Structure 1
Amino acid sequence: MDENTAIEALGALAQETRLRTFRLLMACGPEGLPAGEVARRLGTPSNTMSTHLAILTRAGLLRARREGRVVCYAVEIAGIRALMGFLVEACCGGQPAACAPLLDTLLPLECGAREGRA
């Protein structure tokens, strides 16, 4: 991940509704939720929620999948791992592999493996 991509991702999370949306979808796991359900649970108008979901998706933190007429959103584990890796890449004397166990503990690869539908 490059610096500009990290800034976009961090900027996407630096807003209350988007942070709450991200945390809600993180709790839902790889299946995620329909956009309308996310809006309902957070008490946000659907058109406003669509904008927030689009920003999080462009930042690489969410993924969308269509199920008929419904668009479902889920956390993009690969994007989150890339962001976390970027944030810790200079730790441990510039040996990012030393932090790999931290990433594996926080965001196990198995989470991403179950995301096979895009």
Structure 2
Amino acid sequence: MKQDLAIDALSALAQPTRLEAFRLLVRQEPDGLPAGEIARRLDVPHNTMSTHLAILTRAGLISVERHSRSMIYRVELKTVRKLVLFLLKDCCDGQPELCTPLIEDITRSCSTSGGSCD
């Protein structure tokens, strides 16, 4: 991932409502959620949520697909993976055992939360 794309993604997440929406969508993988349901669950007006979802979409963190009259949003796990790898690629200075606790924490979180950690 290029630095400018990482900055766009991190900037998109650097706002409370967008971060909450992103985390909600992570929990809903692989099915995603309609825009109206995201707005309802986060108690955000629909037009405001549309703006937030557009910012996350432009950053490549989520995608949208039309199903009849609904717009279904899903997390782009490939982009998330690239972002995490970008942030950690120089981690541990060639000592992968230093990153083992981080990997174990992520794995444990995925298996206990019932969430998707592709």
3-state SS of paired residue (1:31):
coil
Specify the alignment match of 1:65 in structure 2. Answer: 65
* TM-score for the superposition, normalised by structure 2: 0.80
Specify the alignment match of 1:21 in structure 2. Answer: 21
1:82 aligns with 2:86: no
Q: Does the C-alpha gap of structure 1 residues 50 and 94 become closer, same or farther in structure 2, counting only changes over 3 Å?
A: farther
* TM-score for the superposition, normalised by structure 1: 0.80
C-alpha contact 1:62 1:75 (8 A) present in aligned 2: yes
Partner Cα distance (1:91, 1:9) in 2? 20
3-state SS of paired residue (1:29):
coil
Partner Cα distance (2:74, 2:117) in 1? 11
Which amino acid in structure 2 is aligned with residue 36 of structure 1?
A: G
- Which has the higher Rg, Structure 1 or Structure 2? 2
Cα offset, 1:15, TM superposition: 0.2
CA RMSD of aligned residues (A): 2.6
Higher mean displacement: 86-95 or 55-64:
86-95
What is the percent sequence identity of the aligned residues?
55
| Superposed CA offset, 1:31-77 (max 9, x none) | 11000000011111111101100111111111111101110001110
Partner Cα distance (1:8, 1:64) in 2? 18
Which amino acid in structure 1 is aligned with residue 73 of structure 2?
A: Y
C-alpha contact 1:65 1:71 (8 A) present in aligned 2: yes
